[in-house]
Chains A and B, each alone.
Chain A
Amino acid sequence: MITISGLNAGYGGSEILTDVHAEFPTGKISVIIGPNGCGKSTTIRSILRLVPEAKGEISLDGVSLDTLTQKELARKIAYLPQSRQVGDIEVQRMVMHGRFPYLGYPRKYRKEDYEKVAQALEWMELTDLAHRNMQNLSGGQRQKVYLALALAQDTEVILMDEPTTYLDIRNQLELLERAKRLAESGKTIIMILHDFEETLHYADHVVLMSGGKVMTSGTAEEVLRSPKMTEAFQVTPRFYRAEDGLHCYIVP
C-alpha cells in the first residue's frame, strides 16, 4: 500500500498541494479524479520525487520512499507520464530501457533482462512490432510500448498519468482492461482519469481531489455519488442501473 501523509508540494514557490493525505491499496486500481489544475499529476509526480519542492511523508508498505536510492525507487514504482517526446528509437530498444534500474556499470544486460523484456513485449502483443521505430507507430501502439516499458521495469506499483488521453475509445478500453489484469496479478495501479463512466467501471478505489486537497476517497460509487463531486466539478453525475451494472452519465 502507498500511503501519503501531510504532503505539500508545488513549483517555483507556488504551492499546489496542501496537506494531502491518501492511501492506495495493494493489488487494486486506484483512480485519482478532479478538475484540471487540482494537483492530481503533482501528487503522482511527488511519489516519484519528480517535484523538488515536495514535503511530507510517502511510504510503500510502511517503508519511507525517502530512504530509497533513485534506482531502488525505480525498481519499485514505474511511471507512465501524461505526454513525452517520441524518440527516434526501436520498440524493443525502448522496452529494454525498462531494465535500466537493474543494470550495474558497465551497462551489460543479463539473460534475465532479455527474458523480462520478451515477456513484456509478448504480454502487450508487441512482438511483431519489436523492430519498428517508435516514430512510425500510432498513439495507441505507442501507449502499449510505454506500458511494456513499465512492465519490463518489473515493479510493484505502476503510476499512470491520464493514460487514456489521445487514445480512441477502443484503445482506451484495451488499456484499461490490461490495467485491470495487472491489478489482478497483484500490481498496485494508480491512475488519473477524467471519464466518470470508466472510473466507475474500472476503479477499485477512488480519490477525489480539488484545489490541491483530497476531498474524499472510497469506492467509485461512494465517491461519485458524494456531494463533494458537485463541489469539485460544478456538475452532478447521474446514475442508472442496467443489466450489466451501474452506469454514470452527465447532463450538461
Chain B
Amino acid sequence: MKNSKSSSSKLNGKVILLLAAAFCVAAAVLNICLGASGMSLPKLWEALISGPGTSAASRILWYVRLPRTVATLLSGAALAVSGAVIQKVLSNQLASPHIIGVNSGAGLAVAVCTAAGLYSAWTIAGFAFAGALGATFLVVAIGKRIGASRTTVVLSGVAVNACLSAITEGISTMVPDAALANADFRVGGFSSVNQSRLLPSAILIIAAIIIICTLSNDLEVLSLGDDTAQSLGLKVTRTRNFVLTLAALLAGTSVMIAGVLGFVGLIVPHIARRMIGNSSGYMLPFCALLGAGFVAVCDLAARMLFSPYELPTGILLSAIGGPFFVWLLLKRKEKRTA
C-alpha cells in the first residue's frame, strides 16, 4: 500500500510541515525585530547571546519582545489545535473554541479568579482550564440532550457563549478591581504578557499538543460517527471526553496568556485543511505551526498598522474572523446547492 502516490502525499505533508515551521520562525523573528524600536538581525543575535540586561537592545529583547512573541506562538498553536479537535469531535467545521463558548468559559473563570483576588499563575491556569472544560462539556451535554444535529451543537454553543460573556461583564461591572485586572483578558491581546505565566503555559500547551497528535487516528475514527467508531474498537465516550478535555486545556491556557482571542480556532484549521487535506496525519502538527505563525503575524500587524497606537490583537482577529465566518457560511450554502 505504500505506493508511489501515497508516499508522494506523505512527502508533500512533510514538505508542507517544514514550510509551516519556516513560516512560524519567520513570523517570530519579524515580531521580535519590528516595533517602535527596530532591531536588525545582527543586533538580535548579539542581544540573544549576550543574555538579558546588558544593553537596551537586550533588555527589549529579553523582557518585552521575546516573552510577547513566545506568548503569541503558544497561544496561536493552542487555539488552532483546540479548534481542529473540537471541529473533529463535533463533526462541524463551524465550531471553534471561541464560537461555542470555550474561551468565554475560561474568560469567566479568570474574571471570578481575579474578582476573588487570586493572581497566582497556576491558580489562574487552573481556573481558566476549569472554565473552558465546564463550557465544553456544557455544550456537549446540551447538544446530546436536544438531539445534537451538527448545527444544533454549534447553536447551543453560541447560546452558552452569550450567557458566559454576559456573566463576565456582570462581574466586571460589579467588581471594578477585577474589571481592571482582567480588561486585557476580555479583549484579548499580548500588550501585557505576564512572564510568570509563560512557563506553566508552555508546559501545558506543548504536552497537550503532543498527546493530541498521537491520537489523530482516534480523532478521525471518532469523526466517522459513534456506531462506526465503537464497532472499530474505540471507546467512544472515554476518547471523546479525553480529547475534549485536552482541547479545553489548550483553550483555557491560551486565555490565561492572552485573554479571549477569537476565530484562531476557526480560521487556522480551515486553511490547514485546504492545504494539507482533512485526513492527513500531519493535520494537527501543521495546525499548531500555522496557528503559532498566524497569531504572531496578527500581533505584529496589530502593533504596526496604526503605529504609534497599538491595536489589541483580539480586535484585529475579530475583524478578520467575522467576515471569514460569513464566507464559510456562504461556501457551505454553495456546496449544498451545487
Q: Which residues of A have CB within 8 Å of B6?
A: 92
CB distance from A86 to the nearest CB of B (A): 10
Over the window 76-113 of chain A, the binary record of Cβ atoms lying under 8 Å from chain B Cβ atoms (1 yes, 0 no) is: 01110100110111101110011011010111000000
The residue from B224, B235, B273 contacting A84, defined by CB atoms under 8 A apart = B224
Q: Are B1 and A87 in contact (CB under 8 A)?
A: no
Q: Give Cα distance in the complex from A88 to B87, angstroms.
A: 12
Are A89 and B231 CB-contacts (below 8 A) given A84-B225, A114-B1, A131-B5? Answer: no
Q: Give Cα distance in the complex from A130 to B225, angstroms.
A: 21
Q: Give Cα distance in the complex from A98 to B214, angstroms.
A: 18
Q: Are A71 and B233 in contact (CB under 8 A)?
A: yes
Over the window 216-242 of chain B, the binary record of Cβ atoms lying under 8 Å from chain A Cβ atoms (1 yes, 0 no) is: 111011011101101111110000000
The residue from B217, B221, B279 contacting A90, defined by CB atoms under 8 A apart = B279
CB distance from B151 to the nearest CB of A (A): 13
Q: Are A79 and B227 in contact (CB under 8 A)?
A: yes
The residue from B224, B225, B233 contacting A74, defined by CB atoms under 8 A apart = B233
Q: Which residues of B have CB within 8 Å of A90?
A: 277, 279
CB distance from B56 to the nearest CB of A (A): 47
- How many residues does chain B have at the interface if contact means C-beta atoms less than 8 Å apart? 28
Q: Which residues of A have CB within 8 Å of B230?
A: 48-50, 70
Q: Which residues of A have CB within 8 Å of B273?
A: 88
Q: Is A153 in contact with chain B by the CB < 8 A criterion?
A: yes
CB distance from A250 to the nearest CB of B (A): 31
A-B contact count (CB 8 A): 84
Over the window 1-40 of chain B, the binary record of Cβ atoms lying under 8 Å from chain A Cβ atoms (1 yes, 0 no) is: 1100110010000000000000000000000000000000
Q: Are A118 and B1 in contact (CB under 8 A)?
A: yes
Q: Are A117 and B279 in contact (CB under 8 A)?
A: no
Q: Are A107 and B214 in contact (CB under 8 A)?
A: yes
Are A100 and B214 CB-contacts (below 8 A) given A50-B227, A84-B224, A92-B1? Answer: no
CB distance from A37 to the nearest CB of B (A): 18
Q: Is B195 in contact with chain A by the CB < 8 A criterion?
A: no
Are A74 and B231 CB-contacts (below 8 A) given A85-B225, A97-B221, A97-B224? Answer: yes
The chain A residue with its CB closest to the CB of B230 is A50
Q: Is B278 in contact with chain A by the CB < 8 A criterion?
A: yes
Q: Is B91 in contact with chain A by the CB < 8 A criterion?
A: yes
Q: Give Cα distance in the complex from A72 to B233, angstroms.
A: 7
Q: Give Cα distance in the complex from A114 to B224, angstroms.
A: 20
Q: Which residues of A have CB within 8 Å of B232?
A: 74, 97-98, 100-101, 153
The chain B residue with its CB closest to the CB of A159 is B231
CB distance from A128 to the nearest CB of B (A): 11
Over the window 232-265 of chain B, the binary record of Cβ atoms lying under 8 Å from chain A Cβ atoms (1 yes, 0 no) is: 1111000000000000000000000000000000
CB distance from B49 to the nearest CB of A (A): 37
CB distance from A70 to the nearest CB of B (A): 5
Q: Are A45 and B2 in contact (CB under 8 A)?
A: no
Q: Is A115 in contact with chain B by the CB < 8 A criterion?
A: yes
Q: Give Cα distance in the complex from A121 to B305, angstroms.
A: 54
Q: Which residues of B have CB within 8 Å of A115?
A: 1
Q: Is A215 in contact with chain B by the CB < 8 A criterion?
A: no
The residue from A49, A107, A117 contacting B218, defined by CB atoms under 8 A apart = A107
Q: Is A75 in contact with chain B by the CB < 8 A criterion?
A: yes
Within A6-60, the residues touching B (CB, 8 Å) are 45, 48-50
Q: Give Cα distance in the complex from A106 to B220, angstroms.
A: 14
Q: Which residues of A have CB within 8 Å of B225?
A: 81, 84-85
Q: Are A105 and B214 in contact (CB under 8 A)?
A: yes
Q: Give Cα distance in the complex from A117 to B217, angstroms.
A: 16
Q: Which residues of B have CB within 8 Å of A70?
A: 230, 233-235
- Return the 10 tightest CB-CB contacts between A and B, nearest first: A74-B233, A114-B1, A71-B233, A101-B233, A79-B231, A107-B217, A89-B279, A93-B279, A118-B1, A88-B278
Give chain B's interface residues, CB within 8 Å of chain A: 1-2, 5-6, 9, 91, 214-218, 220-221, 223-225, 227-228, 230-235, 273, 277-279
Further contacts, 11 of them, CB under 8 A, given A70-B235, A94-B224 = A50-B230, A70-B230, A70-B234, A79-B228, A87-B278, A89-B220, A92-B6, A97-B224, A100-B221, A130-B5, A153-B232
A-B pairs with beta carbons under 8 Å apart, 6 shown: A70-B234, A88-B279, A90-B277, A100-B217, A114-B2, A130-B5
